[in-house]
Structure 1
Amino acid sequence: MATTDRRTATLALAHALSAAEHGLPVIPLSANKLPALRSPHRDESPSSDCRGACGRPGHGVHDATTDPAAVRALFAAAPWATGYGIACGRAPHHLIGIDLDVDTTGRTDSVAALQHLALQHLFTLPPSVTVLTPSGGRHIWLSGPPGVAVPNSAGRLAPGIDIRGAGGYLVGPGSVTAHGTYRLVPGTGNLPPAPCPSALLHLLTPPARPRRQDDHPDRGRGLIQFVLAADEGQRNTRLFWAACRAYEHGFGDALADALTRAAVSTGLPDHEARATIASAARLTTRRAVGGRDRLG
């Protein structure tokens, strides 16, 4: 590796460790802004739904961590990394990224569009961390409330405005890409991510699923107790089994947060618990669809 490349990789690790120290989960990125580590399941057929439960690196944003030793291990496995990504939607900041793109044709103005939304919906963006992108755009960092999952979107809020939420990531300041370097707007680096205004948060989140008449808080209590009783070697297996049963009986979404809390209380990391529940949801959905196809 050339001296310049080594220096870039060293700086990327230093920036990532600094971000992790401030509670921001990070992963190494290549110069194309994609996760630097390839999936360990890339040669498997059929493709795996694993999101890190196997314990090997290469699961993209699901590898993101604030643990310094784990950050160093990820970068050691990807010495070609020139930048780092910051996972959105994760505790403690529950980061939301407002990505204001630059349209070189001049047909759209993302900054003006955001200002129009602010006037229309009566909110003001507070001072917050802001990152300049190599193209001239900017990323505004906001924090969301716990328990609210903001979905990723591109242009849904307004033309030229992309949203990075749960399951997404932002390129961290100091990262070097094929198109240039991401830099903090002067004066914003020492600011914490500002709370997302409630009116804007309302625009970013999908409407709540209507509560079904049979959604009763007591439903699933036995499944929660089953997860709580898990020993160290059983935590993931018990959680997956319980989540599958909940989704099969139609109240998986309603029980997901409670199952997550139960799993976390046994020592399972929050992101791993949510990934396991998501896998159970996908599996039971495929089974249901397959069953309908056979019956038809």
Structure 2
Amino acid sequence: MSSVIDITALHKRFGWRTALHGLDMHVQRGTIYGLIGPNGAGKTTTLRTLVDIIRPTSGEVRVLGEEPRHGGARLRRRIGFVPGELHLEGRVTGHRMLSFYAEVSDPVDRGYTSELAERLGVDLSRPVRSLSKGNKQKIGLIQAFMHRPELLILDEPTSGLDPLMQREFLSMVREARDAGQTVLLSSHVLSEIQQVADEVAVLAAGRVVASGDVASLRLGSVRRVRASLEGSDPDAVRRRFMGIPGVREIDLLPRGGVLHLTATVDGPIDPFVKALAQMTVHDLTVEEPDLEESVLRLYSAGSASSIGTAGHEGGAR
């Protein structure tokens, strides 16, 4: 399987501030590669170097076998790009704007463009300037997907979309991969990456702290659990759960004949659920970890080689 994106020892400085420092990243053809981290981690800077919006201070970047600064319009036609801050204005309708993009990105299947608009639920007859942020984002997604590019580079693509449209977008990403396209997806939403990515790089404070497949990184292994239990004895419940590996930060609050339990589960959740099943449960909530917490946990794990398949100490800043 060949690489579509090869980044080697990439540095980028803005004046006195170093935004990327020694970044290495390789994206294989026909995969979905997730780039995840909190705001300010270096995700957008990385993606902008791939489409030649900004240029590296040093290091090597190759996209579809070419250097972005030399590929020009020919290379950009092979890429679908959604920027992190999408600004669409003007009196033209969505139809007219997409027609312009189609001329630039030729060839474009107009029937596929209409299908995308229908799936995303956007009215292309309206002037772009009158659309909501979410509907402008949908037009941005359509222009990226409509020419079925070899490579999709998507920076926070679900910004402004409601949950239903987010699910539709993730279906579009999976279909692109199944058709042989490659997707580089940047997000600060942990669940998006967990659902679709084949490989992941985790950025924190401008550094790549881990990379590998989603399962090996265990991004979602820490969960916060809240449960309401039928009139149980707090001491007995505490003893029951303290004996389960990975269960910590147990808090119990009796109120109105109901025992309210909160706990953190680090690792497999099955033993915790089986212990709950022995009691009468009125309510149960399981939350994914805060992204900042997940990233800090990966960073504090020490040696990057102990996290995932190919972690790095020196990534991006």
Instruction: Please confirm whether the aligned pair reaches a TM-score higher than 0.5, indicating the same fold.
Output: no
* Greater fraction of residues in strand: 2
TM-score by length of 2: 0.27
Q: Which has the higher contact order (CA 8 A, sep 6+)?
A: 2
Structure ID, larger Rg: 2
TM-score by length of 1: 0.28
